Chain A
């Protein structure tokens, strides 16, 4: 009986209207990735001294494009598309009418915003990088476009909340599906985290770029930005964790290790990703060392949910490997599906996350930060976190999600090409990020065009390693081309069929404390943490504001 139930639940198909919505987001995500990857490859080549850009294009323009397209557009679109599909999948295959309406409104709002921002980047009117630090001033349309991108993602999030509420109404007293729970935690994090960004853009940058106010409070704008900037990385990470916790166990034919602990990890991520932004501002004036230390301590607590995740993953791997006949201390390792890209891609992502997390602890440390701050070490760090751990997981997901949504199948051949793609990405990223970490320790700055600082001997000694970096970037670009090729094949040409949407289950019935699903409790705790970490310093930055800065265009 139980087996029958499992079989049935694992053949739920996401229905047509929901699939169309989800697919629309996924398509924009990968279109954006293809342009962003090209920009990234060019940067690597320039920095390696291999090519020079033509005079009509500026290094910082493609740097802005790379950051915005990959860091903001690709991730946000993919995440919204993936979460919608999973909400539908765990709701009998469909989204409610309200959810669909919010979803499409969000999609078009985001699209208009993205196109507005892209237009200004192309015109070289917004070479301010994706962090748009004032008083560098872009055209107002860039800020308005970015705001629309965020507002659109809110609308999409409200759609998911509507779907979740509807599920709860139809399943009174039941625990929500793990996927839906995690998606809602992600939506909550995004809503809270993007609020200060919206405040910065709406109340500081837009009026100032329009010329309605003469100056801007720079330190306040930076604090509001990093209030958003760190949870942004958890917004990337949490959907990847959903892939790890919920989808990977089913793919390898195992069980979810613990439903309750998975939820605890997400609650901790929600709580401790937000009141921590000052660790990006450790080297800044105008913020006292005591507040910096408080944020550093809160930042490091994230070690706990990371350790929990690592334990859960390897527990699932070992249990599954042993159930399949693995003997001895490490025999289970051989029994994992190494040639299945749906497992291989996220697994390699997990491996990247080990050095990535270690590097994160270094970056967040008060004193060590002085060695690496704003060096290319940091670029290396986020290329192995979001660029490897998260990106590889998203690719692994896309390889089954796209055919599932288009009613096709991931064929053996496509799987093989996809494996090659993942290997290229991993090797390219390993080479590039190793060079970046090494160069960063030598003091090489990030976000900088090719330079030898007027024949400075020290700067000249960096160039060979920068070439290695560029080589890694070349491999990554080859990988991106393969990725797009396979995804087009899976969406348009692969044989028709039913590709499974893998949703794992726990081993038997497990007890999960009801408090984990009482959102008002966790949002209140979060509010207290935010007030504790931010109320005083932000009040001070407003009351004792530094003399303001007029808008400047230095590019």
Chain B
């Protein structure tokens, strides 16, 4: 099978670029800990309201400026409805769904993950700038999907 010389060069360059790219992604994920949200915890979606800590959704302070936020997503809102933290706080979000699949996204941040019934999903972020942060559902969940939102107030 004949391979044109230029095509060989072209494919070698492309292949080498690809190898470097995949290596960087792997280093990013496994050496630097920047893994996509992949929580393995499970929960019965029909018993979320009886399962602690999701029976009482809210903030739990675990450090000087660190909070665990246990939240539930349901058609078409989140609980708790508003979260307030001081500037510089780190929030570890733990979210689960009481019904269908939802999304959990804070625009212009890296917080963006799926909330799948039967599972808890998690991600963390430090809020260094004061202001109001919009949390919105980015997975179609029914007739009121476009109003499903809440906010975080950072003071």
Which A residues contact B (CB, under 8 angstroms)?
58-60, 63, 127, 129, 133, 135-136, 217-219, 222, 258, 260-261, 264, 281-289, 292-293, 296-297, 300-301, 303-304, 307-308, 311, 315, 361, 365-367, 369-371, 373-375, 442-451, 453-454, 456, 458-459, 510-513, 544, 546-550, 552-555
Contact = CB atoms under 8 A, between A and B. Distances in A.
Interface string B130-141: 000010111111
B101 interface: yes
Contact of B113 (A264, A283, A449): A283
A293 B26 contact: yes
A451 B147 contact: yes
Interface in B107-130: 107-114, 116-122
Given A448-B138, A554-B142, A547 B75 contact: no
Contacts of A261: 1, 3, 7
Interface residues of B, number: 70
Contacts of B4: 258, 311, 315
Contacts of B40: 285-286, 288
A133 B122 CA distance: 21
B146 interface: yes
Nearest to A378: B138
Interface string B1-39: 111101100110011001001100110111000111111
A261 B147 CA distance: 51
Please report whether the interface of chain A is mostly helix, strand, loop or mixed according to DSSP.
Answer: loop
A510 B1 CA distance: 8
A285 B120 contact: yes
Contacts of B110: 370-371
Given A300-B21, A300-B22, A548-B118, A292 B108 contact: no
Given A304-B11, A366-B29, A554-B75, A375 B138 contact: yes
Contacts of B68: none
B41 interface: yes
Contacts of A281: 114
B42 interface: yes
Contacts of A219: 116, 118-119
A133 B10 contact: no
Given A366-B35, A546-B42, A374 B29 contact: no
Contacts of B111: 370
Contacts of B121: 284-285
A554 B3 CA distance: 56
B118 A549 contact: yes
A370 to B, nearest CB: 5
A36 B120 CA distance: 37
B23 to A, nearest CB: 10
Nearest to A303: B18
Given A300-B22, A442-B107, A513-B1, A448 B143 contact: no
B61 interface: no
Nearest to B149: A453
Contacts of B117: 135, 218, 546, 549
Contacts of B14: 303-304, 307
Interface in B89-115: 99-101, 103, 105-114
B56 interface: no
A285 B38 contact: yes
A285 B138 contact: no
Contact of B145 (A300, A444, A448): A448
